[in-house]
Amino acid sequence: MGRGRRAALAAALGVVLAAGALTADPALAQPTPSAGHGRHADEGGQDGDRGGDRQGDGRGDDKDGGRSDGRGGGEQRRDDRHRAVPLKGPVLAEGDAADSKAPTDDGLRTALGGTVQDKALGTLNFAVADAATGEFLFGAQESTPATPASTTKLATAVAALALLPAGHRIATTVVRAAPGEITLVGGGDPTLTALPADQVRIGGLPADQDSAPASMADLAHRTATALKAAGTTEVKLSYDTSLYTGPLLHRDHDAMNIAAVTPLMVDEGRIDPRSPDEAPARVFDPAGQAADSFAGFLRAEGVTVRGKPAAAAAPAGAAELARVESPTIGRLVERMLTTSDNTLAEAVARQAAVAAKQPVSFEGAAKAVTDELAGLGVPLDGVLLTDGSGLAKANLIPPITLVKLLAVAAAPAHPELRPVITGLPVAGFSGTLVNRFGAKSGAGEAAGIVRAKTGTLQGVNTLAGTVVDADGRVLAFALMTRTDADPAAARAAVDRIVARIAACGC
């Protein structure tokens, strides 16, 4: 079966890309004079994980696809970060085992040839599996644990979607603490924004209606309306972050690639919510920033806020005055994977911990994820998780586990997991793969037919996702490298392997 057959199969079963090409202009929208307070606004600029991983200092994660200056996916050039690209058609989300034959071990060995021996790869662990059946097809050291970097987010995504109902949204609420006193209660939504609707950016692009985040201005308006209806125009404000336990800071916290992990924040704790930087500077106290932002919006609504907001747990059973809610968990997962958002990943992991009745901490979230994966039948030999984002070099996942995760996510038996597949960046088109698989990369033929999660830490480059081979079969793959080579060279070598898998009619 040739590429024409593959395109026809993709059209029948695939997930169609957005109708318009990506915009070539990464400039942020300017405020409109009549914008007022947006009801659906998000962070300006990037999410802190798309396109630049500050590889040189080893602190970053998964900003693949930009520079070749030794920082690997460091800050992408702003003139090509959202380059216009032609649409090449649909991208396959799941396969049909009865429609085509999976490649053989010998066929894949021949197809890959010397690509897996490229010196830029250093140590390579990899696995290829049939996405339709989960059957392992070919690999090397596929059961040996390796540092997953941001492919850890695949585990977080699968577990969260399995544990939480499809309509689950994260609420930020305001309750009446006492006469004349209110409390802003964090529910764990880091995407809550203070920006007007026309400045919403997710991965540098405007948000659609389904992915637009909750608005702090909207919450203040609803709160003010409830207070005025009760005859109150002056309050004392406190804020509640008691949902989470354990350390606030990730062990590899750098105040750029990830914010302090708290259940109350606005614009993911960015100092400048409009910043287009891939790893923007974060505030020291995201919860305090969020409370100050809320107080400012309340004042704009004609409510006097006495003094400075203080941290305090809301009284048990306190009456709710107002709430806003995040997009659904599926949309959050898609955003997390496409843009490789570390702060959002830790929030999603904690939602899994809440659902699993585990401590809502780094440790409890990791246990919730691994327990749920075990229940799904995913092999966990050698798996060690210490976070939900993959920033931690202590994490270990074998390639065979990653391909099994992808196969489970693509299986018809688990439609609730489909956002894992639809959230994967598309080679040459979106997210952290927008600047990979280019025409001169040696892997250009795979552009548009590969969906994959990137992973980058100092000396570590990983890629795990799905590809439609030349026979129309959907394969899952995971490639995990540890190397001292230039990061751009290592990623290019990984991409060439994937391109060979895509070309395989074997």
For residues 175 and 319, what is the distance between their CA atoms, to the nearest angstrom?
A: 5
From 382, 426, 423, select the one nearest 400 (Cα to Cα): 382
Question: 440: exposed, middle or buried (C-beta count within 10 Å: 0-12, 13-18, 19+)?
Answer: exposed
Same domain membership, residue 407 and residue 473: yes
Same domain membership, residue 176 and residue 136: no
Q: Sign of the CA dihedral 224, 230, 236, 237?
A: negative
The CATH number of the domain where 287 resides is what? Answer: 3.50.80.20
Q: How far lies 392's CA from each of 218, 239, 253, 267, 385, in Å? A: 36, 30, 10, 23, 9
In-domain check, residue 346: no
The CATH number of the domain where 392 resides is what? Answer: 3.40.710.10
Same domain membership, residue 497 and residue 405: yes
Q: Report, in this order, helix, strand and coil percent for the chain, each rounded to 5.
A: 30, 20, 50
Same domain membership, residue 214 and residue 323: yes
In-domain check, residue 42: no
Same domain membership, residue 187 and residue 55: no
In-domain check, residue 402: yes
- What pTM was estimated for this model as a whole? 0.84
Same domain membership, residue 216 and residue 99: no
Backbone angles phi, psi at 504, to 5 degrees: -70, 120
Same domain membership, residue 433 and residue 364: yes
List 63, 100, 153, 389, catalytic entry:
153
State how many domains the chain has.
Answer: 2
Ramachandran sector of residue 118 (left: φ over 0; alpha: ψ -120 to 50; beta: rest): beta
Domain span at residue 374 reads 3-30+49-164+334-341+358-503
In-domain check, residue 488: yes
pLDDT score at 506: 86
Same domain membership, residue 321 and residue 208: yes
Active site residue 340: yes
Active site residue 215: no
In-domain check, residue 43: no
pLDDT score at 225: 98
Amino acid letter for position 181: E
List 100, 211, 326, 340, catalytic entry:
340
pLDDT score at 98: 52
List 150, 215, 326, 389, catalytic entry:
150
Same domain membership, residue 55 and residue 174: no
Active site residue 153: yes
Same domain membership, residue 379 and residue 429: yes
Longest Cα–Cα distance of the chain, Å, equals 77
8 A C-beta contact, residue 471 and residue 101: yes
Residue 12: both structure tokens together: 């029948």
pLDDT score at 14: 38
In-domain check, residue 35: no
Per-residue pLDDT of the chain (506 residues; tens, 9 = 90+): 444 444 433 433 333 333 322 222 222 222 333 333 333 222 233 333 333 333 333 334 444 433 333 333 333 333 333 332 333 333 444 444 456 789 999 999 999 999 999 999 999 999 999 999 999 999 999 999 999 999 999 999 999 999 999 999 999 999 999 999 999 999 999 999 999 988 988 988 899 999 999 999 999 999 999 999 999 999 999 999 999 999 999 999 999 999 999 999 999 999 999 988 878 999 999 999 999 999 999 999 999 999 999 999 999 999 999 999 999 999 999 999 999 999 999 999 999 999 999 999 999 999 999 999 999 999 999 999 999 999 999 999 999 999 999 999 999 999 999 999 999 999 999 999 999 999 999 999 999 999 999 999 999 999 999 999 999 999 999 999 999 999 999 999 999 999 999 999 88
